[in-house]
Amino acid sequence: MKSPILRKLYLLMLLSSVCTVAAENLREDLQQDIRYLSSEKCRGRSYAAGGIFHAERYIVRQLKDCGIRVFRQTVPYTINVTLETPLCVLNGDTLRPGYDFIPHPYSASFHGHFCPENMEIYGEDTLKILQDSLDLFSVSAVRRHIMQTRDGQKRSALLLFPEEDILQSKQDKRYYTAALQIRASLLEESPKELVVAHRSAYKKLRSHNIIALIPGSSDSLIMLTAHYDHMGDLGTIYYPGANDNASGTAVLMALARHYAEDPPACSLLVCLLTGEEQGLLGAEHFAASPRYDPERVICLINLDMVGSGHKGYGMVNGAACPKEAAILQEICETLDFGECRIRDNSPNSDHYPFTKRGLRAIFLYSSGGEQPYHHPDDIAKTLDWDVLEQTVFLIREFIDRRSAALKTVAGQ
């Protein structure tokens, strides 16, 4: 089919038929999966409260119910776990954890009554200057650097990191430095007093990568990855993680259900990975100890935060995967899914450990949404279900094209 117009008509007819046959079940499945994974029972896929294990059992059960072979890979890690809801009273007003403040994720337990003379404030302008001078990846990395350098020093001081949006981050270290991230507008006037209480414990834990193999008619493999862990909880407050990354997890589960009934020519390795929020731990573990032959892998597509935004997609590491990027761009253009923009590689999601080992891997995310990030308001009802369905169709068309190419080669 050489004519671009005829091809576009064909693809539009294909999408229309797919939507007619499967749209009701697809949307229902996406909603069920995301609502469960972002529910109070899973508590932000918490390590401390065991929510990560509720999520794991749910995913495994759903895949096995489709007749898919599933195995798990243990991933060990150490994490600074919050043991109870933290307290912060500023000038007599009790602040809301998760919204107005959080203890810095690396802080060991601390409590006390702090006056201005034993508070140290690091504003965002100061942090950005330090970021440039230290050549660090992000402002969050600067805060972590300060926590490390101050570990155990001047224990009576409280470090304050004001920011417009209170963003939770990884908890893989523990320092004896008392620190809060606090909403910047609350510090417009100099604080007179702060009463703070925070309890945490540094624990060795383990969870699992969930790997599902869907055999095709050839030995070639397409790998699909998404992380299912999130930021956990702060006692009574939890981080639902609907967009980050229940969305990518649900899309992979939808793809697994579809191809379990109608396998493509290439085999699919569907990887639901743990530990992404703690430093790509699950992806690093699987990439270092693969249960696949890297020579068989055509490419890897990693889905992370695909539940919001009508401005197309970003493709991290797309320049290193020109064939795959071109296919995704053509599908998006043909089906009016928005622009598919190429971005340089970055260690910002689970594709990265695989790229370090020579695999062609793209991290795909949806663009233009305003979904809260690492925040208690990242909830299911604020997602865009059209975008989620669109992402399923985009990856299905990508897989079907690569499979068709394999069949053509095999037939020659």
Domain boundaries, the chain: 4-79+204-411, 85-198
Contact criterion met (CB below 8 Å) for 363 and 302: yes
Q: Which CATH fold would you assign to the domain 85-198?
A: Glucose Oxidase; domain 1 (3.50.30)
**Tens of pLDDT along 221-278?**
999 999 999 999 999 999 999 999 999 999 999 999 999 999 999 999 999 999 999 9
Rounded-to-integer distance, Cα 18 and Cα 25, Å: 11
Could you report the per-residue pLDDT of 50-97, keeping only the tens digit for each? 999 999 999 999 999 999 999 999 999 999 999 999 999 999 999 999
Length of the chain in terms of residues written: 412
pLDDT at 20: 46
pLDDT-based confidence at 280, cuts 50/70/90? Answer: very high
Mind listing the pLDDT tens digit for each residue in 245-255?
A: 999 999 999 99
Roughly how many angstroms between the first and final C-alpha of the chain, as a whole number? Answer: 18
- Listed residue (74, 69, 32, 70) closest to 52, CA to CA: 74
State what percent of residues in the chain have pLDDT above 70.
Answer: 92
Class of the 4-79+204-411 domain?
alpha beta
Q: Which of 173, 324, 231 minimizes the C-alpha distance to 42?
A: 231
Mean pLDDT across 111-138: 94
> 21 pLDDT band (50/70/90 cuts)?
very low
Mean pLDDT of 184-199: 94
Checking if the pLDDT of 11 tops 80, the result is no
Q: What is the pLDDT of residues 284-312, one digit of tens each?
A: 999 999 888 999 999 999 999 999 988 99
Kindly tell me if the per-residue pLDDT of 22 is higher than 60.
Answer: no
